[in-house]
Structure 1
Amino acid sequence: MAKKENRALPVERQEHITSRLRDHASVAFRELADELSVSIMTIRRDAATLERKGVLTLTAGGVARRQRLAVARPTPPHDGVGVASATLRALRQGALIYLDSGAQAVSFMQITASRTDLSVVTPSLDAAEVLQHHTCEVIITGGRLDRRTKKFGGPVATAVVAQLAIDFAILTDPSATEGDAGHELGGVINNAAAEVLIVGPPSHGRP
């Protein structure tokens, strides 16, 4: 007798797969199929969809957490320009970039002015204002606004970015910031993004 499949929607199954990879580096197709009461073929289709979105990597017998490409921590501002330039220009079509607050982060993003196919998510009102003059799609995280830094944070912002498959993140060095505002959000990005560039301290307000 054929096994009766779970009626969960594809998006629900895919969220389960993604959630499992937050806790485990890899998970077998068979294990996921048993957990969701579906066939291995169904899991393979869901996994292939998530791979196309850049969420995970397919292996011979299952799925694996997406391998991080690199982490760069340049000290002088100019050290990161070459890294940012090469990475931003090489990103796949439709890639998603996370842009933190800070003058350096925003200046690096200027490199993408000619890339009309990219999407950028940011918690920073200043960054969003600069990016409105670009042709890329701009997404603001929302959440609790810090009026001093003009940056969103808190559980709402964290929940939003935790659901995204970020290809490249430009983060402000957390050791150079005051207090813990935005540190939780930065931690989520630092762990989830495929590639991370950490730049110098933020510039609060306009010069």
Structure 2
Amino acid sequence: MLAAQRRSMILGALSRDGTVRVTDLVELLGVSDMTVRRDLVSLHREGLLEKVHGGAMAVAEPSSSEPGFAAKSVRRQLEKEAIAAAAAQLVHEGMAIAVSAGTTTHALTRHLARVPNLTVVTNSVWVADELHRTGESTTSVLLTGGLRTPSDALVGPVAVSSLRSLHVDAFFMGVHGMDVRAGFSTPNLLESETNRAMIERSRRLIVCADSTKWGVVGLSSIASLSQAAVLITDSGLSAQASGALSDHVDELVMVDPADVHDEGDADA
């Protein structure tokens, strides 16, 4: 099993149970005690868990906590790639779309780079850069201005103003959290305002969020669950959560990260 797969499964177990034991992870992953401990040390250094004697604990984040892009990019990589691949199936030649900032939407960008005659409106520095470097020559990218957040989103009055005269076919949005009462949320007030402006300018809202976002509530709500035409998440979502989401979103798509072929670190 690849290192990225193991670490994704460790974080998945943490998101479900809050704690994990080395002995349980050895059985779950089918690797040695030393390999599990190396993975826990690596994830601890990245700030993704709290290493304790015999295992690890989940890191609790306050509602106003906003991790940087680099910290978020190493979380749930296989799930994000599977979600991105599914989201890309909804994008066709000649469309005009909006893409929010975030690591899942950045993964989507690598697929968008192969779609010709695409117009992409984004407030993400990373998304704009990826499309500039790898996109088709027929791809047009409109990058909003604005204040730069820790997650490299451009937000605030300048970003909102630049969106007011635009109209797009779909808005692909990443989120910090999703909850029945709070809906889709973010820890950043200005990012929430900017994303709401994108929703207003789009025909369809397509949310891309891995299963660990369920039950997480950020400081500011962006939209209710019912505003999503499509929610794409992964199969790590519990039956209770998938039932609640199915009751609110128009279409719930659940992907299997096991279908992703990772070419990363393969130490065992």
- Identify the residue that residue 100 of structure 1 maps to in structure 2: 100
- Identify the residue that residue 88 of structure 1 maps to in structure 2: 91
CA distance in structure 2 between the partners assigned to 1:156 and 1:169 by the alignment: 19
Tell me how far 1:78 sits from its aligned partner: 6.2
Mark the CA change 1:130 to 1:79 in structure 2 (over 3 Å): closer, same or farther.
closer
Is this contact kept in 1: 2:85–2:108, CA < 8 A?
A: no
Tell me how far 1:177 sits from its aligned partner: 2.7
Is this contact kept in 2: 1:88–1:111, CA < 8 A?
A: no
- Identify the residue that residue 125 of structure 1 maps to in structure 2: 125
CA distance in structure 2 between the partners assigned to 1:138 and 1:171 by the alignment: 17
Q: Which moved more, 1:168-177 or 1:181-190?
A: 168-177
The aligned amino acid for 1:139 is: L
Once the two structures are superposed, residues 161-202 of structure 1 have per-residue CA deviations (whole angstroms, 9 ceiling, x without a partner) of 121111111112253532313101111222331122112279
1:139 matched to 2:142? The reply is yes
2:193 counterpart (166, 184, 193): 184
Alignment of 1:3-22 (within 5 A): none
- Identify the residue that residue 49 of structure 1 maps to in structure 2: none
1:169 counterpart (165, 171, 195): 171
Once the two structures are superposed, residues 92-112 of structure 1 have per-residue CA deviations (whole angstroms, 9 ceiling, x without a partner) of x2x221111111101112222
Q: Does the residue aligned with 1:164 lie in a helix, a strand or coil?
A: coil
CA distance in structure 1 between the partners assigned to 2:202 and 2:159 by the alignment: 16
Q: Does the residue aligned with 1:127 lie in a helix, a strand or coil?
A: helix
The aligned amino acid for 1:166 is: V
Tell me how far 1:144 sits from its aligned partner: 2.2
- Identify the residue that residue 159 of structure 1 maps to in structure 2: 161
How many residues are paired up? 123
- Identify the residue that residue 195 of structure 1 maps to in structure 2: 204
Is this contact kept in 2: 1:80–1:197, CA < 8 A?
A: no
The aligned amino acid for 2:174 is: T
CA distance in structure 1 between the partners assigned to 2:81 and 2:114 by the alignment: 21
Q: Normalised by the size of structure 1, how large is the TM-score?
A: 0.52
Would you identify which runs of 4 or more consecutive aligned residues in structure 1 move more than 3 Å?
76-83
Tell me how far 1:129 sits from its aligned partner: 1.4
Aligned-pair identity (%) = 19
The aligned amino acid for 1:88 is: V
- Identify the residue that residue 149 of structure 1 maps to in structure 2: 151
Once the two structures are superposed, residues 71-129 of structure 1 have per-residue CA deviations (whole angstroms, 9 ceiling, x without a partner) of xxxxx64674465222103x5x2x22111111110111222222220111111111111
User: Aligned Cα RMSD in Å?
Assistant: 2.4
- Structure 2: stretches of 5+ with no match in the other structure: 1-78, 178-184, 214-268
CA distance in structure 2 between the partners assigned to 1:78 and 1:180 by the alignment: 27
Is this contact kept in 2: 1:121–1:138, CA < 8 A?
A: yes
The aligned amino acid for 1:152 is: L
Is this contact kept in 2: 1:174–1:183, CA < 8 A?
A: no
Q: Normalised by the size of structure 2, how large is the TM-score?
A: 0.41
- Structure 1: stretches of 5+ with no match in the other structure: 1-75, 203-207
- Identify the residue that residue 109 of structure 1 maps to in structure 2: 109
The aligned amino acid for 1:158 is: V
The aligned amino acid for 1:178 is: P
CA distance in structure 2 between the partners assigned to 1:88 and 1:111 by the alignment: 9
Is this contact kept in 1: 2:123–2:154, CA < 8 A?
A: yes
